Chains A and B, each alone.
Chain A
Amino acid sequence: MKILDDYLRQLPIALQRIVGHVGSLFLGLVMALLMSYVLYRIGLPSKPFIYVAF
């Protein structure tokens, strides 16, 4: 992380801002996917339906 931080600090300020925004946007997208998955998982029953016929 430190290497990445040092590298970003060397960039021009305007570029630093753009990279920051793009990074945040990407993180938001990943969180949306994660949130979608969590909503899907918590909606499923903890135990599957067992069909009994004899």
Chain B
Amino acid sequence: MSFAAGLLLGLALCSITARVLSSKGYHPDFSRFHQRISPEAQYYPTLDEMRGIVRSACRPDQTLVIVGGNSIFNGVGQPPGKVWTDALQEELGDGFKVVNFAFRGALCTDGGAVVAEALRKEYPHLIYVANTSPFGSIAPFGTEPYRYLFWEARARGELEDFPPRSEALSTFSRQQLTIGERFEISARANLDRLFRFRDLWNYIGYTTLFTIPNPATPHLPEAIWARKRLPDIEPDFDSFPFEQRFRPEIRTAEMKIVRGFSWAYYSKGADGAWHLKPKSLADYTAAVEAAFPVDLRSRTLIMLSRNCRLYLDQLTADEIARDDLAYSDCAVLWRKHGYACAEYGRDYATTDFGDRTHLTAEGGIKLATEVAGRIRSLSSKLGFTKARP
């Protein structure tokens, strides 16, 4: 009897402690989830942990800007102090608070998107900005390994009831997940909703003792160090010589990727011009439609990432025309569905890129200036701030 009481009391105490600690936030001076506090190092930030970061950083009088997207927006190749979101914060000034929740290999619907949706009522003055590529994948429920955040938010009732996303999710579950996997996902998310074990042990792992074997710190004593002791060691593209950033042995493969941004989606018509294939249009329209709930779209800025000029200059005039069309068609489609959308990088110099797609610190500053202007105008359009004269 006493043992059972102790067990229940213990579980309740763990759950309450985790809720309190996470909601307050325990990442002072947060800049981004760098490699050593990310799924690459077996550290999976929780929804409440990320909300805690926002709560401890953003004042009620500020407009919250959550940055999502992939490694480009995470700031790969930009060491601490040179991250583009720092420049964005500087550009926007004190009226805004920029929080970088972009992850390597994530989609525009991952990470920051889930947090933005979960915070939509708490922070009505919120803008979500993320990057993607034209016709790139936009699973409305995110992608692995970041999909856990979607399951977590969904199990806690933090997401909107949005039929297009529910339908896409239902089709995905039926076609891609076994009954066992569906049960496991649901059981894990619901148990965590009750007991908050992920929140509790993430807190302990970040502040006191980390217990998960991981490739970022494979050897003792660093292996068990609190993750807060591990600095962001993102290398600086600017310190790499040109030949290392644009390695000749991978240029052919990179060109294939650059061409892949548009070739599969267009066909030549009888008039000799490129035309978007009806299936590509239908698939992408459905994805854009299901990506974000309707009321969040007006607060969402999608930036379409261009490839480095070094590669674009190797395209034929015909391929360039197709590439340009892909960007403009995608931007029109996003805008048609209520999002703000623009491309960036078309006129950036090769030195603004650290590789085919990631930006150097200099490129990051250009991106920050461009995004800041769009955020300011979106903010003023939404009535968050008065328009500047």
Contact check, A28 vs B198: say whether CB atoms are below 8 A apart: no
Interface string of B243-260 (1 = CB under 8 A from A): 000010010011000000
Cα distance A38–B212 in the bound complex, in angstroms:
12
Taken together as a complex, chains A and B put the C-alpha atoms of A37 and B198 apart, in Å, by 9
Question: Which residues of chain A are near B2, meaning CB under 8 Å?
Answer: 20-25, 28
Residues in B30-61 with C-beta less than 8 Å from chain A = 38-42, 44
Q: How far is the CB of B19 from chain A (nearest CB, A)?
A: 13
**Using a CB-CB cutoff of 8 Å, which residues 12-41 of chain A contact chain B?**
20-33, 35-37, 39-41
Residues A24 and B14 in contact in the complex (CB < 8 Å), given A43-B198, A45-B145, A48-B41: no
In B153-210, the 8 Å CB interface with A consists of 188, 191-192, 195, 197-198, 200-201
How far in angstroms is the closest Cβ of chain B from A26?
6
Q: Contact check, A39 vs B39: say whether CB atoms are below 8 A apart.
A: no
A49 contact set on B, CB distance < 8 A: 38-40, 105, 144-145
Does A4 lie at the interface of the complex (its beta carbon under 8 Å from any beta carbon of B)? no
Closest beta carbon of chain A to B149's beta carbon, Å: 13
Could you tell me if A51 and B40 are in contact, using CB atoms closer than 8 angstroms? yes
Which residue in A25, A45, A48, A50 is a CB contact (below 8 Å) of B9?
A: A25
B224 located at the interface, meaning its Cβ lies under 8 Å from any Cβ of chain A in the complex: no
Residues of A close to B6: CB separation below 8 A = 24-29, 31-32
Q: List which B61-83 residues lie within 8 A (CB) of chain A.
A: 71, 76
A-B CB contact pairs (8 Å), 20 listed? A24-B6, A25-B3, A28-B3, A28-B10, A31-B3, A32-B8, A33-B10, A35-B7, A36-B195, A37-B201, A40-B200, A40-B201, A41-B211, A48-B39, A49-B38, A49-B39, A50-B40, A51-B104, A53-B104, A53-B357
Question: Is the C-beta of B325 less than 8 angstroms from some C-beta in chain A?
Answer: no
Residues of B within 8 A of A29 (CB): 6-7, 9-10, 13
Taking the nearest CB of chain B, how far is it from the CB of A17, in angstroms?
A: 10
Chain B interface residue count, CB cutoff 8 Å, equals 44
Asked if B11 is at the interface of the complex by the 8 Å CB criterion, the answer is: yes
Chain B residues near A50 (CB, 8 Å)? 40
Interface residues in chain B, defined as those with a beta carbon under 8 Å from any beta carbon in chain A:
1-11, 13-14, 38-42, 44, 71, 76, 104-105, 144-145, 188, 191-192, 195, 197-198, 200-201, 211-212, 214-215, 247, 250, 253-254, 355, 357-358
Which residues of A come within 8 Å of B, CB atoms?
Answer: 20-33, 35-37, 39-41, 43-45, 48-51, 53-54
Number of A-B contacts (CB under 8 A): 105
Q: Which residues of A contact B8 (CB under 8 A)?
A: 28, 32
Tell me the bound Cα distance from A33 to B2 in angstroms: 16
- Known pairs A30-B10, A39-B192, A54-B253; A25 contacts B42 (CB<8 A): no
Q: A27-B6, A32-B8, A43-B192 are in contact. List 9 more A-B contacts (CB 8 A).
A: A28-B7, A29-B13, A35-B7, A39-B197, A40-B200, A40-B201, A49-B39, A53-B355, A54-B250
Known: A27-B3, A28-B4. A40 touches B11 (CB 8 A): no
Chain B residues with Cβ below 8 Å from A45 are: 42, 145
| Chain B residues in 8 Å Cβ range of A30 | 10
Which B residue's beta carbon lies closest to that of A22? B2
Q: How far is the CB of A9 from chain B (nearest CB, A)?
A: 19
* Chain B positions within 8 Å of A27 at CB level: 3, 6
Give the residues in chain B near A39, CB-CB below 8 Å: 191-192, 195, 197
- Given contacts A49-B145, A53-B71, A53-B104, are A31 and B40 in contact (CB under 8 A)? no
| Contact present for A31 and B104 (CB under 8 Å) | no
